[in-house]
């Protein structure tokens, strides 16, 4: 069976973008793939995280994934730092990947901002750790958003160079899986920016922990424009906030943008937002209650992550051992 590796950073609460663009699809993929789901805490610290918050967010993300339907018994769910094989292989990849490759990564440029000299070395080398996350399990497929496509290309280049440097077809070249209608959910405050955990404004996103009243308030305050909703796809041109809200409707209802436009053509945002709120609450409400149930028992979440890490290491250890042998590391 093909194997999937998927990662999510515990840099905050999961939001609607993470759910519609990633977690919901992962739940579906469980039927057809062997899945390794990883809460990538080592990636999270490439930007400073408050230590207590990092631990809390790791549990929250685990709870959100379990509540959304991740099956941690049949598949694997763990936090990255509990399996040291990722870091071990990442070092080998630091020596395989070329500086020129990393220099081309646009996410580093975005995240490091203007003060690049002051960015952490980890933020720069992050794509090599991501390559190791995937290849330490010889994963064949990786569900990725648009923003991670370049990193996956780098993982493929690294696998290929490793194979050629050591003269064996050892690592598979992982394939991207781009799924779902809402691959990019935008901020509720600015239709040109993606919905993000690290956005300063909590009103920019719907968190998976938000209750019905909060969802309603956030959608009420969501930025719109003065026109009624359009009656054609062309009518959305230059209206990113309207497009985003219609796309959210489409994704939550398992429909298309065209169907959403047809349904709400000519209606006022106030009416549309009421229906959107009802739909969002209907979809997220049950997940929210499940999450609360999981979070009430942190020890049970820790046990899931520990068992997941042990099973993850059982998969990665022989692959890492063989990679080290190929590189020439002596293991008397």
Per the annotation, binding residues for L-tryptophan are 133
> Which one of the spans 15-23, 50-58, 164-172, 277-285 is the region binding ligand AQP (CB under 6 A)?
15-23
Q: Which two tokens stand for residue 165?
A: 């440097």
Detail the residues annotated as belonging to a binding site.
9-11, 17-18, 133, 145-147, 185, 194-198
Q: Which two tokens stand for residue 6?
A: 């998927």
From the candidates 138, 149, 197, 223, give the one annotated as an active-site residue: 197
Pick from 11, 79, 158, 216 the residue near ligand AQP by CB under 6 A. Answer: 11
From the candidates 73, 74, 111, 273, give the one annotated as an active-site residue: 111
- Closest to ligand AQP by CB, 92 or 205: 205
Pick from 4, 5, 8, 218 the residue near ligand AQP by CB under 6 A. Answer: 8
Pick from 86, 156, 189, 194 the residue near ligand AQP by CB under 6 A. Answer: 194
Pick from 29, 62, 185, 219 the residue near ligand AQP by CB under 6 A. Answer: 185
- Active site annotation includes 274: no
**CB 128 within 8 Å of CB 99:** no
Burial 157-191 (b: 16+ CB within 10 A, else e): bbbebbbeeeeeeebbebebbebbbbbebbbbbbb
- Active site annotation includes 220: no
CA gap 33, 8 in Å, rounded:
18
Binding mask 282-311 for ligand AQP (x = CB under 6 A): ------------------------------
Q: Which of 225, 223, 224, 229 is nearest to 268 (CA)?
A: 229
Binding site for ligand AQP (CB under 6 A): 7-9, 11, 17-18, 21-22, 145, 147-148, 183-185, 194-198
Catalytic residue numbers, as ranges:
111, 194, 197
């Amino acid at each position: 069976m093909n194997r999937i590796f998927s990662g999510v950073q515990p840099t905050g609460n999961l939001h609607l973008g993470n759910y519609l663009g990633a977690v919901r699809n992962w739940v579906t993929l469980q039927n057809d793939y062997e899945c390794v789901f990883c809460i990538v805490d080592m990636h999270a610290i490439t930007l400073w995280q408050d230590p207590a918050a990092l631990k809390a967010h790791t549990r929250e993300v685990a709870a959100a994934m379990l509540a959304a339907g991740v099956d941690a018994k049949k598949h694997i769910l763990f936090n990255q730092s509990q399996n040291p094989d990722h870091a071990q292989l990442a070092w080998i990849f630091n020596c395989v990947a070329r500086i020129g490759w990393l220099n081309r990564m646009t996410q580093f440029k975005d995240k490091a901002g203007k003060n690049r000299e002051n960015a952490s070395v980890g933020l720069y080398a992050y794509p090599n750790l991501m390559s190791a996350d995937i290849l330490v399990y010889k994963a064949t497929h990786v569900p990725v958003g648009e923003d991670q496509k370049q990193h996956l290309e780098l993982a493929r280049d690294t696998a290929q160079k490793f194979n050629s440097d050591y003269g064996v077809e050892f690592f598979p070249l992982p394939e991207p899986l781009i799924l779902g209608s809402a691959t990019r959910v935008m901020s509720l405050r600015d239709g040109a920016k993606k919905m993000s955990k690290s956005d300063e404004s909590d009103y920019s996103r719907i968190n998976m922990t938000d209750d019905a009243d909060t969802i309603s308030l956030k959608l009420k305050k969501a930025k719109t424009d003065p026109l009624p909703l359009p009656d054609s796809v062309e009518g959305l041109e230059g209206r990113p906030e309207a497009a985003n809200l219609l796309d959210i409707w489409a994704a939550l209802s398992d429909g298309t943008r065209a169907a959403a436009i047809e349904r709400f053509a000519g209606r006022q945002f106030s009416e549309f937002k009421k229906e959107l709120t009802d739909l969002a609450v209907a979809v997220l409400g049950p997940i929210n209650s499940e999450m609360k149930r999981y979070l009430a028992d942190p020890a049970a979440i820790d046990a899931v992550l520990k068992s997941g890490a042990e099973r993850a290491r059982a998969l990665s250890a022989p692959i890492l051992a063989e990679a080290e042998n190929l590189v020439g590391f002596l293991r008397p």
